[in-house]
Amino acid sequence: MVIRHFRADTGAELLAETRSHFAGPKTRSCKGSASASWRLEQQFRAYEGEHLYGLGQPQHGQMDLKGVSTTLLQQNAHAVIPFVLSSRGYGFLWNNPATGRAEFASNITRWTADATGGLDYWIVAGDTPADILRAYAAATGKSPEIPAWALGFWQCKLRYRTQEEVLGVAREYRRRGLPLSCIVIDFFHWTRQGDWKFHPEEWPDPAGLVRELREMGIETMVSVWPTMSASSENYRDMVDAGHLLTTERGVPAVIPFPDKDPFGAGFFTYYDAFNPDARDRHWDIVKKNYVDLGFDNFWLDACEPEMRPAHPENVRTALGNGAEMLCAYPVLHEERYRAGLRAEGRDGVLLCRSAWAGSQRHGVILWSGDVWSDWDWFRAQIPAGLHAGLSGMGWWTTDIGGFYDGHGGSEEFRELLIRWFEFGVFSPICRLHGFRVPEGVPPPEPGAKVTYGQDTFNLFTSSGGPNEVWSFGQEVEEVLTRLLSVREALRPYLERAFAHHAETGDPVMAPLFYHFPDQPALFGEGRAYMLGSALLVAPVLEPGATCLSVALPEGPRWHHVWSGDVFEGGSTAEVACPLGECPVFAREDRLDDIEAAFGALNASRRQSRKFN
């Protein structure tokens, strides 16, 4: 039997299984696995001319998933949300939290679950991509209204080591008159992995810290990992209660990672988010040591859960073998935080490194993980953010400047940082973060790869170099300061875009074809995108670029926001792109949506551009 899926109104075929030979591989096949479950393969036909999008947040840099083969396993920078949007007019959710693979070859589409108890997928039809994604949002949940402060500028680095250091940075932003909405406290502010509390010597008054920052109009976010080491004060209780992930032999599933007090080699494991009692126990500790002190916003790092090496088939959860379940770990972890915050009347947000189907309804900002500070990884962030939006995650961000290997004294890195900052300003969430090479380490020779020994480049025993907007020289500071004013001008426009996302499920940051679905030429476009319904953004993705050609969608005329020049729809605009000005166009039939910000953007061109 071959299962085929049709539109009820037109009878058009949307998706069909392959018809297998009686002696060959079956369209649906099950094999025994190491657990009591089965390894499942499901095959569908491949259609000529079909384009596919979504699947969470991949880092392969491809806008069209056709031709892509990928692992269904949550990993740092690779978030798995098994929903795919097709240009044939359907959306497909592989409703299975098992690890596995998804393959979109020219001859076949194949979904694989490494261990599962059954076949479960969901299909929806729609005339446009918006129809499909709105139906997906209605089925899996819509994002809540985002707090207005979250649309401002976020300051973050690995890592601020003390309470006084955080306050000093915040005060300096205010002294310089620079906008700052949120400052983030990274990992190792704690005593030990799994204590889930501040180190009292380094952070003597966390409640006072939150109060002073709020008096300055700045929100605070704190990083809490779902991890625990054997030296934690909570370890024995969690082990005895069966609240930790284990191997199939029953001992804790561990990965090598340092602990604190003292620093050094160590191991940690994860609490079992599939166990509701374990979720409650974890939240109770977090509530006591963070929420009750005034913290509303949490950075849920490492929530894949990250395991190195990754052997999900040797992990035991409260609901079964890890190969059956692990992809859903982040959404259960996020759900408990959201429920706990709402029970306290808090309207906080969660910054998460991973997500699954439905994560968006828990107030989750997905960020693209610990990516390298180079141009290849920067280019990959645009399709990564677009795929995330087409997977339901309208709240999205990236580490401006990249995470690894950025050297503040390198001219090459400074150019990359500015271009990434331009992209960040025109992204849903604008957040500067990274582990900059520590001060005192000489910059590399031009064109050379950044490589530093672990003794120098140690994220555990020291903080990275400075990462504030004034940390990269006066010329860079002037450019970034102007870009911050642009972000502030955009905030009313972004508030409307986020409100529309909460109401409908439409992405805040979307590929061009989402807004112009009747133009097939746009289906492969993955460099330019729409921010809200009125702004077309084309990030500058090559070093040394001074101008850029941008193919504009047909239909409305387009206003170049920096110069005011007007271009016909369907034309190619060649515009200057000096540092601090990636090409941005406002569609003429939406100028009312962007009028106030459009004036501010246009006026900002008259400010100093000495860096160029």
Q: Is 352 helix (H, G, I), strand (E, B) or coil?
A: strand
Question: What is the pLDDT averaged over residues 389-410?
Answer: 97
pLDDT in tens, 85-110: 999 999 999 999 999 999 999 999 99
| Per-residue pLDDT at 122 exceeds 70 | yes
| Per-residue pLDDT at 608 exceeds 50 | no
Least confident span in 19-23, 111-115, 176-180 = 19-23
Question: What is the pLDDT averaged over residues 398-418?
Answer: 96
Domain with CATH 2.60.40.1760 in the chain: 4-140
Q: Which residues contact 560 (CB under 8 A, 6 or more apart)?
A: 566, 567, 573, 575, 583, 584, 585
Question: What's the confidence (pLDDT) of residue 265?
Answer: 61
The per-type count for the chain, helices as H runs and strands as E runs, is 12, 33
Chain centroid, CA 177 distance in Å: 29
604 pLDDT band, cuts 50/70/90, is low
Query: What is the rounded CA–CA span in Å between residue 181 and residue 392?
Result: 25
Question: What is the pLDDT averaged over residues 550-570?
Answer: 97
pLDDT in tens, 463-498: 889 999 999 999 999 999 999 999 999 999 999 999
The pair of structure tokens assigned to 485 is 């004013």
Beta pairing partners, 352: 300, 366
Question: What's the confidence (pLDDT) of residue 451?
Answer: 59
Question: What's the confidence (pLDDT) of residue 599?
Answer: 66
> For residues 513 and 605, which has the higher predicted lDDT (pLDDT)?
513
Least confident span in 326-335, 377-386, 600-609 = 600-609
Beta pairing partners, 72: 100
Q: Is 101 helix (H, G, I), strand (E, B) or coil?
A: strand
| Per-residue pLDDT at 280 exceeds 70 | yes
pLDDT in tens, 134-157: 999 999 999 999 999 999 999 999
Where residue 511 falls (left for φ over 0; alpha for ψ -120 to 50; beta otherwise) is beta
Q: Is 607 helix (H, G, I), strand (E, B) or coil?
A: coil
pLDDT in tens, 410-431: 999 999 999 999 999 999 999 9
Query: What is the rounded CA–CA span in Å between residue 497 and residue 169?
Result: 30
pLDDT in tens, 501-559: 999 999 999 999 999 999 999 999 999 999 999 999 999 999 999 999 999 999 999 99
Domain with CATH 3.20.20.80 in the chain: 148-224+277-302+347-498
DSSP conformation letters of 463-491: --B--STTTT-HHHHHHHHHHHHHHHHHH
* CATH 2.60.40.1180 matches 503-604: yes
Domain with CATH 2.60.40.1180 in the chain: 503-604
Question: What's the confidence (pLDDT) of residue 24?
Answer: 73
Question: What's the confidence (pLDDT) of residue 264?
Answer: 57
Amino acid in position 431: R
Question: What is the pLDDT averaged over residues 164-170?
Answer: 99
> For residues 22 and 181, which has the higher predicted lDDT (pLDDT)?
181
Query: What is the rounded CA–CA span in Å between residue 106 and residue 84?
Result: 16
Nearest-5° angle of CA 302, CA 59, CA 300? 20
> For residues 464 and 75, which has the higher predicted lDDT (pLDDT)?
75
Please, what is the average pLDDT of the chain? 93
Question: What's the confidence (pLDDT) of residue 366?
Answer: 99
| Per-residue pLDDT at 179 exceeds 60 | yes
Positive or negative, the CA dihedral 44, 45, 50, 51 is positive
Select 148-224+277-302+347-498's CATH number: 1.10.3720.10, 3.20.20.140, 3.10.105.10, 3.20.20.80: 3.20.20.80
Least confident span in 136-150, 284-298, 454-468 = 454-468
457 pLDDT band, cuts 50/70/90, is very low
610 pLDDT band, cuts 50/70/90, is very low
Element of type H or E holding 414: helix 411-425
Question: What's the confidence (pLDDT) of residue 29?
Answer: 87
612 pLDDT band, cuts 50/70/90, is very low
Least confident span in 34-43, 151-160, 345-354, 602-611 = 602-611
**Among all chains, which residue has been given the structure tokens 């079992």?**
272
Length of the chain: 612
The pair of structure tokens assigned to 13 is 């075929």
Which amino acids are annotated catalytic? Answer: 301, 304, 370
Cβ(14)–Cβ(90) below 8 Å:
yes
Name the H helices within 150-217.
Answer: 163-175, 206-215
Q: Counting Cβ atoms within 10 Å, is residue 201 exposed (0-12), middle (13-18) or buried (19+)?
A: exposed
The CATH architecture one would assign to domain 4-140 is Sandwich (2.60)
Beta pairing partners, 7: none
Query: Which residue, among 187, 228, 258, has the nearest Cα to 454 in the 3D structure?
Result: 258
In 344-408 the beta strands, taken as DSSP E runs, fall at 350-352, 364-367, 396-397
The pair of structure tokens assigned to 140 is 């899996």
Query: What is the rounded CA–CA span in Å between residue 564 and residue 396?
Result: 29
Question: What's the confidence (pLDDT) of residue 611?
Answer: 35
Question: What's the confidence (pLDDT) of residue 101?
Answer: 98
Question: What's the confidence (pLDDT) of residue 261?
Answer: 62
Cβ(598)–Cβ(590) below 8 Å:
no
Cβ(22)–Cβ(12) below 8 Å:
no
Percent of the chain scored above 90 by pLDDT? 84
> For residues 249 and 42, which has the higher predicted lDDT (pLDDT)?
42
